[in-house]
């Protein structure tokens, strides 16, 4: 079984509203609003991964 590193165990989580209000994601508010669910919490690493996956998606 894999163990969590110390950084993973204490990574702060944020709500969608907090992330939308943050300066870090000021230019990504439209993507954050579309990708994240209300009522859930996310780490910045999770949000960065979701944005990267979205940006690398294929255009249909």
Mean pLDDT of 27-53: 96
Q: What's the CA gap between 29 and 8, in Å, rounded?
A: 25
Residue from 39, 40, 30, 38 nearest 51 by CA: 30
Of 46, 41, 48, give the one whose Cα is nearest residue 8. Answer: 46
Mean pLDDT of 5-30: 88
Query: Quick check: 59 pLDDT over 90?
Result: no
Residue 6 has pLDDT above 70, yes or no: no
Q: Which residues pair with 15 in a beta bridge?
A: 41
Q: What is the pTM of this model?
A: 0.77
At residue 10 the predicted structure's pLDDT band, cuts being 50, 70 and 90, is confident
**Residue 31 to residue 27: CA distance in whole angstroms:** 9
């Amino acid at each position: 079984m894999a163990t969590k590193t110390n950084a993973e165990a204490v990574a702060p989580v944020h709500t969608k509203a907090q992330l939308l209000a943050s300066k870090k994601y000021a230019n990504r508010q439209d993507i954050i609003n579309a990708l994240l669910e209300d009522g859930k919490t996310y780490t910045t690493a999770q949000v960065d991964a979701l944005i990267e996956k979205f940006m690398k998606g294929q255009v249909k």
